[in-house]
Structure 1
Amino acid sequence: MTATDKVLSAIDANLSASLDRLFALIRIPSVSTDPAHNEDCRKAADWVVEQLREIGFEASARETGGQPMVVGHGGAMPGNGVPHVLFYGHYDVQPADPLELWETSPFEPRLVDTPQGEQIVARGACDDKGQFMTFVEACRGWVDATGSLPIAITVLIEGEEESGSRSLGPFLDSHKDELKTDFALVCDTGMWDAKTPAINTMLRGLLLEEIVVTAANRDLHSGMYGGAARNPIRVLARIIADLHDADGQIQVPGFYDGVEELPADVKAQWDGLGFDEKAFLGDVGLSVPAGETGRSVLEQIWSRPTCDVNGIIGGYTGGGTKTVIASKASAKVSFRLVGNQDPFKIRDSFRAFVKERLPADCEVEFISHGASPALQVDVSGPQVARAAAALEAEFDRPAVMMGCGGSIPIVGDFKNTLGVDSILIGFGLDDDKVHSPNEKYNLSSFHHGTRAWARVIGALGGA
C-alpha cells in the first residue's frame, strides 16, 4: 500500500469526524460585511488556527485593518525537489438574508437526503468553508496516516473575501517574504459536473461602477412640476438602454479593445463538452441566451465580456404610490472583462459615455467600487499536469480545463504582488445556491474533494 493509499483510507475512516469539524465551523456566523458579526469573524479565525495547529502547522490570526487573516506554515522543508505551495481560502460568508426563504436555520448545518445524494445545507457549506476544509482535512489525512506532509505548505485564509478583501492587498504587500512560494492553490472554484473534476484556466476581470444622476435640488410634486422638470430616472433609463445594441454588443467606445477570439482548439474542446444550454438556463427559469448574438452560452459566460446593471435606485419604492419626481437616481453597473481589456480605460470611456448623454440641468457623480483585469492561468507547467493526473485518478475521468465566468481578484494579487502563479481547483457545483438561501454542498463533493486534494498533495510531492 502506497503512502497515498494509506492517506485515502484514513480520510474514508474519519469522514464523520471531518463533517463534525466542518459543521462546527459553519455554526460560527462569520459574516464579514456586518460589524455586528466582528466577534464571530474573530471566533472563526481562531477556530481555523486551532485546526491548523492540531495537525502540526505553526499558525496564528494576524491583525489587519478589518477581519483577522489566518496564516499557517507546515509540511516538509522546501527545496531539493520539494515544492512550496500557498493555499488560499476564506472563512467569511455572505449574509443569510432573506431569512424567510431558508428551510431551516442558515447557521445550523444539516445533512439532507436527495435524489442526487446527501447534501450539506447551510450558509458557507460550499462558499467557502466546505471548500477550504477539504484541503485542511486532506492535510490532516496525510499527518494521521504518515505523520507528515510530503510538500511545504503555507496556508492563507482570509476573512473579508465576501466584503471586498479590503485588507488583503496591504497584507500581501507587508508579508511578501513570508508568503512567497513556488505557486498557489486556490479552492474557490468548481467542477464541470458532479462526476467530472476541473481546473479553471481563465478568469474574467471585473469593473464596478456606480452612477448617481441628480436633477432638481429636491424631490418634486409630479402634478406641480411634471412635464417641466427633468426626471433623473428617465435620464438614467435612457443611458442604460444605450449600453447595448439589439445584438447584445456593448456600445461603450473602445470596450472590445484587447478582446481576442477564442482559439479554435479551445472552442472545439468546449463544443465537445456536451454542455446543455437549455438545461443551464432552464434551471433558473429562462430559455433564451441573452448575450452577444452568434456566441454559445459557454463563450458568453467564460470568454466574452459583459455589462450588467445590478441595481437601480430612484424615487419612491415603498408600498402604494407617491406622486413624486425624484431628485436623484442611481445605478450600480458591473463589467466582466476578458483577455487584455484595460479596466481603467474602460472606466474612463464608460464615464465619458454617460456624460455625453447627460442633458441640461443634470449632474452625475461616479463612485468606483473596484477594478481588476482578466487572468489567463498558465497550464503548461508540470505541477498542473500532476494535479490533473491526481484529479483523474480520484474521479476516473480526465479533468476539464474550463473557463470561469466569475472573478477571483486574489489570483491577480498573487501574480502581481508575490510573483506566484495559481492552480484553481474546487469542488463546487452550479446548483450549490452560493450566496442564496439554502446554500448546499454535496457530501460527495466534500468527501471526494478531500480525497482529491490528498492525491494532489501526494502527486506534487512525488508520492
Structure 2
Amino acid sequence: MNLSKYVEKNSEKLKSNAVIMEGSGLDIKGRPMIVLGVKGLVYIQINLRTGERDVHSSNAPIVYNPVWELIKLLNSIFDGEKVKLKGFYDDITPLSKEVTELLDKYDQDPEELRKSLGIYKLKNNDLRSLFTEPTCNIDGIISGYVGKGSKTIVPSSVSVKLDFRLVPNQDPKKIFSSLLEHVKNQGFNVEIIEMGLEKPVRTEPNTAVTKAMVSSAKKVYSTEPLIIPNAAGTQPMGLFFDLGIKEIVSAIGVGTPSSNAHAPNENVKIENFYKAIEHAYEFYNEYEKI
C-alpha cells in the first residue's frame, strides 16, 4: 500500500524505459531465472460471526456453527478444480507462440521440485500450470478451541484468509467485485476485508531488457538462463506497468527452491549474493550496448 502511494505521488520521477525487480533466483539446476512477469493477486480475509461468545457443544442442534457455514461458502467459491465466481475465467488471454515456446523449454523435474519444497505429493506434474493457471488458495483459518485436551464448544466466529493468483488480463478489481456479488447472492452475512489487489503482468520476450539480462547471465553463470513468461507468485509490477513501462522483469535473484520462502528457516547462500552482484554489473554493461 505504501509503495502504491509513493508510485502515484512520484509518477513523473519514476518514468523509465525498463524496471528490474528482485524476486527470481536460481532453479534446482543452479541456472539463473529471468522472469518476464508475475501473476496478479486478490488477497482477502472473510470474517463470519454467529454469536456473541462460544457456547457448549450440547447446543449444536439449535445453533449455527460458523465453521460449517464457512465451509459451505468456501465450497461455493471453489470446488477443488475451478473457481466458481462469475466471469472469473472470461478475460484470460490465450498463450502467444513466444510464451508457448518458453514454456516448452521449462525442463524442471517434478520429483526434484517436490523434494526441494518438502512436500509429500504433487497434485499436478505439469509444472507449466504454475505460470498459466489462476488459483484459489486458503492461507489459514482461525476458529474455536485448538489447545491441549478437550473443550467441547460451538465456536462463535471464524476467520479465513484467501488468495487468488491471476494470469494476464484478469482484472483483480473486477474479480474482487465478483466475489462480493457472489457472497451476497449466496445469502451469507460475512465481513470481507480486501488486503491486496495486484495486476498480472507479462513482458514480451524480445525486449531490450530481456536480451541484456540473458547475455549478462550467460557471462556470469556460464550457462543458459531459464526464461519464464511470468512468476507463479506476485510482485507489484502492475504499479509500474500502469506508468507506461512495458519492459519489466524479475531477475538477478539469490534464492533457490530450497530457500524456504515465507517459511521457517528462510535462507539463501552467501555465494549467491556475490554472483548476483556480478550479474548486476554485467547487466548494466550489456544494456548500455543495446
* TM-score of the aligned structures, taking structure 1 as reference length: 0.57
- Residue number in structure 2 paired with 1:60: none
- Residue number in structure 1 paired with 2:249: 423
* Aligned partner of 2:266 among 419, 426, 439: 439
Partner secondary structure for residue 334 of structure 1: strand
The 1:251/1:173 distance shift into structure 2, 3 A limit, reads closer
Structure 2 residues not aligned, in runs of 5+: none
* Aligned partner of 2:53 among 212, 218, 238: 218
* Aligned partner of 1:271 among 84, 104, 121: 104
Tell me the percent identity: 23
Partner secondary structure for residue 289 of structure 1: coil
1:265 to partner: Cα distance: 5.2
Matched, 1:458 2:275: no
What letter corresponds to residue 260 of structure 1 in structure 2?
T
Matched, 1:245 2:95: no
- Residue number in structure 2 paired with 1:188: 23
The 1:384/1:288 distance shift into structure 2, 3 A limit, reads closer
What letter corresponds to residue 324 of structure 1 in structure 2?
I
* TM-score of the aligned structures, taking structure 2 as reference length: 0.89
RMSD of aligned C-alpha atoms?
2.3
The 1:288/1:425 distance shift into structure 2, 3 A limit, reads closer
1:288 to partner: Cα distance: 3.0
* Aligned partner of 1:335 among 164, 169, 189: 164
1:442 to partner: Cα distance: 2.2
- Residue number in structure 1 paired with 2:221: 395
The 1:435/1:179 distance shift into structure 2, 3 A limit, reads same
Give the Cα–Cα distance (whole angstroms) in 1 for the partners of residues 52 and 268 of structure 2: 50
Matched, 1:371 2:200: no
- 1:59-458 matched pairs, under 5 angstroms: 166-223=1-58, 225-245=59-79, 248-263=81-96, 266-283=99-116, 284-289=118-123, 296-299=126-129, 301-358=130-187, 363-402=189-228, 403-409=230-236, 411-417=237-243, 419=245, 421-427=247-253, 428-458=255-285
What's the CA shift string for 1:169-188, capped at 9, x where partnerless? 22222323333333222122
Say if 2:33 and 2:226, in contact at 8 Å, map to a contact too: yes
What's the CA shift string for 1:206-249, capped at 9, x where partnerless? 001111122234322221x2211111111101222333335x12
> Number of paired residues?
287
Say if 2:209 and 2:247, in contact at 8 Å, map to a contact too: no
Partner secondary structure for residue 401 of structure 1: strand
Structure 1 residue ranges, 4+ long, deviating more than 4 angstroms after superposition = none
Say if 1:181 and 1:420, in contact at 8 Å, map to a contact too: no
Give the Cα–Cα distance (whole angstroms) in 2 for the partners of residues 449 and 433 of structure 1: 19
What letter corresponds to residue 276 of structure 1 in structure 2?
D
Say if 1:414 and 1:421, in contact at 8 Å, map to a contact too: no
1:279 to partner: Cα distance: 2.1
1:264 to partner: Cα distance: 5.1
Partner secondary structure for residue 440 of structure 1: coil
What letter corresponds to residue 244 of structure 1 in structure 2?
F
Say if 1:179 and 1:418, in contact at 8 Å, map to a contact too: no
Say if 2:37 and 2:249, in contact at 8 Å, map to a contact too: no
What letter corresponds to residue 205 of structure 2 in structure 1?
V
Partner secondary structure for residue 139 of structure 2: strand
1:320 to partner: Cα distance: 2.0
Partner secondary structure for residue 213 of structure 1: strand
The 1:196/1:438 distance shift into structure 2, 3 A limit, reads same
Say if 1:180 and 1:420, in contact at 8 Å, map to a contact too: no
- Higher relative contact order, structure no. (Cα contacts within 8 Å, ≥ 6 residues apart): 2
1:275 to partner: Cα distance: 1.4
Partner secondary structure for residue 404 of structure 1: coil
Partner secondary structure for residue 198 of structure 1: strand
- Residue number in structure 2 paired with 1:67: none
The 1:319/1:352 distance shift into structure 2, 3 A limit, reads farther
Say if 1:201 and 1:378, in contact at 8 Å, map to a contact too: yes
Say if 1:194 and 1:429, in contact at 8 Å, map to a contact too: no
